[in-house]
Chains A and B, each alone.
Chain A
Amino acid sequence: MYDMLCKGCGHRTAMSIIDRIIKEYGIKEKTIVFLDVACCSLLMDDIEYDDVMCPHGRVLDVSRGYKMLRKDKVVISYMGDGAAYAIGIEEMIHSARENFDIFAIVINNGLYSMTGGQFAPTFTGIDRKNIDSDKSELNFDKVLKIENLLKSFNINYLARCALTDKENIDFSYECIKKQMDIYMRKGGFCLTELISPCPTNYKMTIKENIDLIDENIKQVYKIGEFIVK
């Protein structure tokens, strides 16, 4: 399953969690997945639901247009951090401002991975070169933290999890399940961000990348539920 992805890629874990939740809810027949381009698009032939490949960064708009005409469908907006927080930040802000019915999953690895690991606005500055050195000089304030941006809006769910070890993946499952519950019950803007390894572009083994997230990146990005309504 999901063979086109690199070894250790977080997309595989994330999509498996979503698969499991959709199966549990029995909503496969009314689920449409809106995918962003780049690494997300590597899922497009493997996922078991109807899917649409959207222009880069426009997943939330395309999903909204769809949802406005078909309220009864489960619309999953699936994107990376580049789409969600760089090129598509406008859509993110306005969808949240209107608390529109959105079920968004953001895979955050801090990099533009498909093109070779260039830095996204979510990059913490911690990588292979400085992993063991003093990080006091890194400017973590420049990192885009979505909870700071969206807390002023009346949204229904916001959480951040990490796709690292079993404990964290179980927590991701709990969060996305709760997100689905809120989305199905009362709609509104629901987003879970998943901190994901990208061993290919961090140029590490899977284990090293997971340790990097657990020991360093999690200090910048707080894990947990920020808004639950």
Chain B
Amino acid sequence: MKKILNGNEAFAMGALSAGVNFFAGYPITPSTDVYEFFMKEHDKYGVKFISATSEISAINLCFGASVAGGRALTATSGCGFSLMQEAISYMASDFVPCVILNVMREGAGLGDINRSQGDIFQMTKGGGNGDYHSIVLSCSSVRDCIDMPEIAFMLAEKYRTPVIVTYDSDIAHIKENVEIKEIKTHNIDSNFALVGSKDNPKRIQNIYYHDKNYDETLKNKYEMIEKNEMRYRSYKTDDADIVFVAISICERICMEAVNVLRSMGIKAGIITPITLYPFPKVAFNNLKEDTKIVVVELNILKQLRMDVEYFTKFKYKYYSINHMSKCPTVKEIVEYVKEI
């Protein structure tokens, strides 16, 4: 069945198809639609919903639901996401799965509700205290928003780690006609759930306390993630002289810019990292040596470019088109590329 949905509604529908059992959230623009969806629809789909009294509360309720074996989800933005970092760090160290949606909003502190991609550092480099990474998945369309929850829960349970799904507020509010998937129910009796024991009690606690080889365990976990889970999309990169790197709404704009540039005889292509962590460095393997890489993003500190430079070992020429929250136009991109 096809339906016209915005990104947030699609994400909620996608989460139902992924068998979500539990949603706890605290409203914050631009992620509120997800909260509202579950508030209205949870009974119909048998999802436990709780209107938490803060983001701290929301993520800890999800922690508890995950310990019970459920597929737990929360959705937030900006400062709300910052409030969740402690529990995300706990879940990473305790090997507890969970999916967190962070719809990025503009600026530091309160900022504003405009589109932005300013949380890339925070999401990919940790955010909370200690030695951990969360897997980070980005969406560029309403279609992606439908598909991503299933991938997110799969990865969260495979590696027993928190997974963050992210997009900007343009994708959150853009409306597209998409095919929705069948709703699934997830059985909470999974192998990691605590259910009580007769002997040999199970313990969910920081890995440093109960695993004597925690160095190895942690190293293996993140090595496996980095080896197996790099995901990306690429378009016309085989013969490209100019390669854009962009996520979310910027991918959509660059896609059009690629077609315009190609029609003008400039060989352009685009790489979209779907996993921001682990960064899909293999996507850059077959580029020509003199390729110019243009990173298009919505933040001032060039957060995505920093990863691109590092993971491609600084061997290309790098350029940036970046604004705080104003979307670059196709014309602006084309003009910029003509200059270089």
Interface residues in chain A, defined as those with a beta carbon under 8 Å from any beta carbon in chain B: 28-32, 34, 41, 44-45, 47-55, 58, 61-70, 73-74, 90-91, 94
Contact = CB atoms under 8 A, between A and B. Distances in A.
A82 to B, nearest CB: 16
Specify which of A34, A63, A70 lies most central, judged by the most chain B CB atoms within 10 Å of its CB: A70
5 contacts: A53-B206, A62-B61, A64-B61, A65-B68, A90-B57
B61 A28 contact: no
A54 B60 contact: yes
Nearest to B210: A45
Contacts of A50: 194-197, 201-204
Given A28-B198, A50-B203, A54-B60, A65 B65 contact: yes
A51 B57 contact: no
Contacts of B69: 69
Given A50-B195, A52-B67, A90-B57, 9 more contacts: A28-B196, A28-B198, A52-B194, A55-B90, A61-B52, A61-B56, A69-B21, A69-B68, A90-B54
A68 B202 contact: no
Interface residues of B, number: 40
Interface in B62-111: 62-70, 72, 86-87, 90, 94
B310 interface: no
Given A62-B67, A64-B64, A65-B63, A55 B86 contact: yes
Contact of B64 (A29, A49, A63): A63
Contacts of B56: 58, 61
A35 to B, nearest CB: 8
A30 B118 CA distance: 45
Given A62-B64, A67-B64, A52 B205 contact: yes
A49 B21 contact: no
B22 interface: yes
Contacts of B196: 28-32, 49-50, 73-74
B28 to A, nearest CB: 17
A48 B199 CA distance: 8
The residue in B62, B70, B205 that gathers the most chain A C-beta atoms within 10 A of its C-beta is B205
Q: Which of A48, A53, A54, A62 is the most central at the interface, judged by chain B CB atoms within 10 Å of its CB?
A: A62
Query: Of residues B50, B60, B198, which shows the largest number of chain A Cβ atoms within 10 Å of its Cβ?
Result: B60
A69 B197 contact: no
A28 B209 CA distance: 24
Nearest to B53: A94
Chain B residues touching A, majority SS: mixed
Interface of B: 21-22, 24, 48, 50, 52-54, 56-57, 60-70, 72, 86-87, 90, 94, 188, 194-198, 201-206, 209-210
A188 to B, nearest CB: 17
A50 B60 CA distance: 18
B194 A32 contact: yes
A53 B94 contact: yes
B60 A62 contact: yes
Contacts of B64: 34, 52, 61-68
B185 to A, nearest CB: 13
Nearest to A27: B196
A34 B64 CA distance: 9
A73 B195 contact: yes
Contacts of A62: 60-61, 63-64, 67
Contacts of B65: 65-66, 68-69
Contacts of B57: 58, 61, 90-91, 94
A66 B60 CA distance: 10
A175 to B, nearest CB: 24
A65 B61 contact: yes
A63 B50 CA distance: 13
A99 B204 CA distance: 27
Contact of B188 (A67, A69, A94): A69
A25 to B, nearest CB: 13
Nearest to B66: A65
Contacts of A31: 196
Contacts of B61: 61-62, 64-65, 68
A47 B201 contact: yes
Contacts of A28: 196, 198
A61 B60 contact: yes
Nearest to B68: A69
Given A29-B198, A50-B196, A69 B70 contact: yes
Contacts of B206: 53
A65 B62 contact: yes
Contacts of A74: 196
Contacts of B86: 55
